[in-house]
Amino acid sequence: MTDSGPAPLPTADRLDIAARLRDALLAASFTADGLLDLLGAPAYAALARSETVPALRATRGDTPLETLVRLFLLQQPVPHARVAAVLPVEEAVEAGWLRGVGGDEVAATVDVRPYGGPGGEDWFIVSDLGCAVGGAGGIGQRDEGVVLGVGGASTTLAGITVRTPVAAALDLGTGSGIQALHAAQHATRVTATDLNPRALHITALTLALSGAPAADLREGSLFEPVRDDETFDLIVSNPPFVISPRARLTYRDGGMGGDDLCRSLVQQAGERLNEGGFAQFLANWQHVAGEDWQDRLRSWVPRGCDAWIVQREVQDVTQYAELWLRDAGDHRGDPAEYQARYDAWLDEFEARKVRAVGFGWITLRRTGSAEPVVTVEEWPHPVEQPLGETIRAHFERLDYLREHDDAALLDSRFKLVPEVVQEQVGLPGAEDPEHVVLRQHRGMRRATKVDTVGAGFAGVCDGTLSAGRILDAIAQLVGEDPVVLRDRTPAQIRLLVEQGFLEPAG
């Protein structure tokens, strides 16, 4: 980057050249798998930490793949003759993907990062120079208006998104276009918005170079470019959610006070969703003194929507400020300026009585139910991505539980979800365990305590007997009144269904 701002971008209207470049990249195995084979796991992982030295050492040869890695991932000038043996170099220069430097070398004008799609697709994510590897890892000072590549937040959102075929999808704040690229695989029509026109240009490049259909690209903040009569089956957004003293960097700072941007985004999404449609976001939210953070988030949920909100991480205000100061590279600059910016961040939090900041996922689903269900929970534990199917199934189970009162529940048959194990916890040699834990090994990887009746019930759920008949058999075994057991057990069954340990058998 230079003081004059980000460099000129390749033209987005030469699809023929983008297609030829794509063919050449694939022919050289410039793919996610090809990179891992070439670099090895340590150097490949180092790139995600913004460390390029191991990759530079691994690409000292002159193979086509090494040439492309040095050119597009490591941003090193490469002799013209070497590039010409791999790419249509003259057309690439003409279209702005490459530029001449020195006497006989060429350099890339954008980062191009191989990215593996969920179905084994070979995609390419375009971003500004120095912004692809490591996400926003603090590679020097960030210029206003730059467009980042794939970071942890991007892949998290892509992993949690529900991937059912839909007619219309909306990507708010598209950035480099990764969410639009995913949506194009299962949506007939994709609309992508961004306040930064450079991001829309780069999204067009990402889609073209990945061989994906073009999206309807619209400039503007969040829902502003969307017509009043437009609704969608899927809305996704990795918004500029950072809670900062001022909107300094477009790609991360929302420009509204506190967590107002995330709140507004969630509240406005409800009226933009078709019946049964999903809206899924990453967000930050404030933990304010004297206020329950869960109540704060419940107040965001629009009418007519079920919601599942998961807090994945909490940072105190000092940790939070330091994280994002490093993101911008401020820790590398003038110490006095760094201290002033740190002070300004803490002043902002103190004025708002903010003690910590939470990060997590918000999923809304438009429902026709008169009694929407809002679940807000903290789950900092490891999960298994992708989670889109887990999230879709969660809302299906909500519908099931809403439609079945306790009597209907006892008449229903259930199956224990595959890969759930039972653990008995107690002192060695004890006749009975202190408690029993059911543990999932897929999806959210939950663990829940159950009593002996709950454990016995779950253990025999294979879809053949109704819940009521199973409880009657358990009552006979333990010498308990079956009427009492039928009366007190449905709440435990509901919990096991809601959390995904049991599923209806039909």
Can you give the pLDDT of all 506 residues of the chain as single tens digits? 344 567 799 999 999 999 999 999 999 999 999 999 999 999 998 887 778 999 999 999 999 999 999 999 999 999 999 999 999 999 999 999 999 998 899 999 999 999 999 999 999 999 999 876 443 333 444 566 889 898 889 999 999 999 999 999 999 999 999 999 999 999 999 999 999 999 999 999 999 999 999 999 999 998 999 999 999 999 999 998 888 887 566 667 666 678 999 999 999 999 999 999 999 999 999 999 999 999 999 999 999 999 999 999 999 999 999 998 887 777 778 899 999 999 999 999 999 999 999 999 999 999 999 999 999 999 999 999 999 999 999 999 999 999 999 999 999 999 999 999 999 887 777 667 778 999 999 999 999 999 989 999 999 999 999 999 999 999 999 999 999 999 999 999 999 999 999 999 97
Stretch (H or E) spanning 307 = strand 305-316
Nearest to 364 by CA among 415, 443, 434, 309: 309
Q: What are phi and psi of 201, to 5 degrees?
A: -60, -45
b/e 264-292 (16+ beta carbons within 10 angstroms → b): bbbbbbbebbeeebbbbbbbbbbbbeeee
Give the pLDDT score at 141: 45
Q: How far, in Å, CA of 225 to CA of 214, rounded?
A: 18
Question: What is the rounded end-to-end Cα distance, in angstroms, of the chain?
Answer: 59
User: Is 479 within 8 Å of 458 (Cβ atoms)?
Assistant: no
Q: How far, in Å, CA of 178 to CA of 158, rounded?
A: 8
- Cross-strand bridge partners of residue 502: 416
Instruction: Provide the 3-class DSSP secondary structure of residue 29.
Output: coil
Give the pLDDT score at 4: 52
> How remote is the C-alpha of 153 from its chain's centroid?
5
Q: In this structure, which amino acid lies at residue 163?
A: R
Nearest to 124 by CA among 29, 37, 240, 208: 208
Query: What residues contact 239, with CB distance under 8 A and at least 6 apart?
Result: 172, 173, 222, 254, 261, 262, 265, 281, 282, 283
b/e 469-496 (16+ beta carbons within 10 angstroms → b): ebbbebbeeeeeeeeebbeebbebbbeb
Nearest to 59 by CA among 24, 81, 35, 79: 35
Cis-peptide, bond into residue 490, ω within 30° of zero: no
Nearest to 25 by CA among 60, 77, 64, 58: 64
Q: Between the CA atoms of 334, 339, 341 and 342, what dihedral angle is there, to the nearest 10 degrees?
A: 140
Q: How far, in Å, CA of 417 to CA of 420, rounded?
A: 6
User: How many other CB atoms sit within 10 Å of the CB of residue 36?
Assistant: 15
Give the pLDDT score at 250: 61
User: Is 190 within 8 Å of 213 (Cβ atoms)?
Assistant: yes
Give the pLDDT score at 245: 83
Instruction: Provide the 3-class DSSP secondary structure of residue 169.
Output: strand
